[in-house]
A and B are shown apart, each in its own frame.
Chain A
Amino acid sequence: AQAMAGNQATTRPITTGTSVLGIKYRGGVMLAADTLCSYGNMAKYKNAKRLLSVNSNTLVGASGEYSDLQSISDLLKANALADRCTADSLYEEDNNEECAKEVWSYLRAVMYNRRNKMNPLWNDVVVAGFKQNTDGTTSDTPFLGVVDKIGTAYEDDILATGFGGYIALPLMREKYRADMEEGEARALLEDCLRILFYRDCRALNRVQIAKVTKEGGVLVSDPYELDTFWDYEGFKQNKGSLGTDGGW
């Protein structure tokens, strides 16, 4: 089952975002991503928001094709609105919004379905928020999960997509503790984003951090720039003359 005759299926991403990082901490979950959307080799959109809130207690972030992220965002927001309209009660306190785990499960169905039609949404989507209690209310237990373009769904305490999997994840795993304070988690993520900017040629030092907490709901920061330091010996050294392969 390909795309309809006359239309083509997605075969390659065009406008792309790089790594998204996620980490649980004491009281919530935090996501981080830079604000660059590359157009192949060109750093085209330097203020693109890749972290968004879907309802009052769920955050979503994605790497890969930006237009597909926009489509996913529209879909999830329409779902949230439809839930609100068709809820049993006119009162917010009686109603339950979809929790992050439900959004993650739904996305898995969407992504897998598209993959089976050989026309994927070319993204790795990270979902952050809380789980659901058996009575339907939002739980206190933080939730962090990822769904990839072929519909693989995975949840963990620390996640990273794309290049972040190679460079940031080992650093995050080393520093992670279940009861990390918000400040520690943020410092860790910023450090990872900085290192990604040094090493990933599709990354930028203009970044966004977002968090979800039980009391405060969803908070997405405005984009801001990270300081960088280029005077490390390792950066200045002429690696070509070392007699090795000239790399790292």
Chain B
Amino acid sequence: MASSGSGYDLSSSTFSPDGRIFQIEYAAKAVENAGTMLGLRCRDGVVLAVEKPLLNKMLVAKTTGRRIHTVDEHAGVAITGFVSDGRQIVNRAREEASSYDETYGTKIPPQTLASRLSTYVHYFTLHGALRPFGASTLVAAYDPATKKHSLHMVEPSGVSYEYFGAAAGRGRQPARTEMEKLAINPKTSASGGEEELITCAEAVKQLAKIIYTLHDESKDKPFELEMSWLSEGTGWKHAGVPKAVIAEATVWAKKEIEEAEDESEDDEMEE
């Protein structure tokens, strides 16, 4: 590790001499060691994907330990890190969404939801009696007023940004590299339009491929791929990606990875 805490890391209400709060960094470490989580804003919606490690062969995997949760009709949230910490964030998100609707009579705008969660998570970094959340949260939501869909990520420090593509967990560095190729920033691309982005249907396959590529058969536990989307196709309602579609994407992903391996083997042999 870069520096040992040496006494400045015992409480989240203590700065270190070089201006860091170690407890927050340690919380981020908890997320870094957890299953990979990806979110991609597509042309026609947002897709979320989480690598859910199957801790125990005896686990009934289908419903236990879900990582992706519906927070309101038009909003879904994915978590990685300490799942129990993540559950608290999910519950808070549901409360924020329903109380906003009760007060203002409209669905909570994505930016507002992300900022409410941000404030909530940040609160836990300010008190000596509390510890920061050891979970990162991806928020996929649609704003019926502006007709725009968006993706935000809230980190254990309480910062939240809007992303075209976001990744957290074990494989986030290589995932980001791969996703950059898919989530071209319309402002910086030459032709500049939203048409440059891929569709949700395509993203499901690509994200599955990224997760399978990053997963190390020998080192990591076997996993289940949980995916959800919020798109024009679902009527802008957050829903699980149909299991058949995930299965198809998995088959395609594995084939692509095999073909890429064969190609690189051929290259090696030629040398």
Contact = CB atoms under 8 A, between A and B. Distances in A.
The answer to whether A binds B is yes
A92 B70 CA distance: 12
Nearest to B91: A86
Given A78-B98, A90-B228, A85 B70 contact: yes
Contacts of A90: 66, 68, 70, 226, 228, 239-240
Contacts of A89: 62-63, 240
B71 interface: yes
Nearest to A90: B240
Most buried by B among A89, A90, A91, A92: A90
B41 interface: no
Contact of B242 (A74, A85, A91): A91
Interface residues of B, number: 19
Contacts of B239: 90-92
B69 A85 contact: yes
A3 interface: no
Nearest to B66: A90
B63 A81 contact: no
B243 interface: yes
A74 B70 contact: no
A131 B70 CA distance: 26
B237 to A, nearest CB: 9
B73 interface: yes
Given A88-B63, A90-B66, A81 B243 contact: no
Nearest to A87: B70
B204 to A, nearest CB: 14
B227 to A, nearest CB: 9
Contacts of A115: none
Nearest to B68: A90
A32 B73 CA distance: 29
Nearest to B243: A91
A242 interface: no
B40 to A, nearest CB: 17
Given A88-B63, A90-B66, A90-B228, A82 B98 contact: yes
Nearest to B62: A89
A114 interface: no
Given A84-B73, A91-B242, A74 B102 contact: yes
A81 B237 CA distance: 12
Contacts of A82: 94, 98
A81 B102 contact: no
Nearest to A92: B239
Contacts of B62: 89
B51 interface: no
B44 interface: no
Contacts of A92: 239
Interface string A67-107: 00000001000100110111111111000000000000000
Contacts of A81: 72-73, 98
A90 B47 CA distance: 14
B72 to A, nearest CB: 7
A94 to B, nearest CB: 8
A85 B66 contact: no
B72 A91 contact: no
Interface in A120-141: none
Contacts of A74: 102
Interface in A178-211: none
A227 B240 CA distance: 48
A56 to B, nearest CB: 12
Contacts of A78: 98, 101-102
Interface string B107-145: 000000000000000000000000000000000000000
A87 B238 CA distance: 13
Contact of B94 (A85, A87, A88): A85
A93 to B, nearest CB: 9
Interface in B84-115: 94, 98, 101-102
Interface string B50-85: 000000000000110010111111000000000000
B240 A91 contact: yes
Contacts of B63: 88-89
Contacts of B101: 78
Interface of B: 62-63, 66, 68-73, 94, 98, 101-102, 226, 228, 239-240, 242-243
Given A78-B102, A90-B68, 15 more contacts: A78-B101, A81-B73, A81-B98, A82-B94, A82-B98, A84-B70, A85-B69, A85-B72, A85-B94, A87-B70, A88-B63, A90-B226, A91-B239, A91-B243, A92-B239
Interface of A: 74, 78, 81-82, 84-92
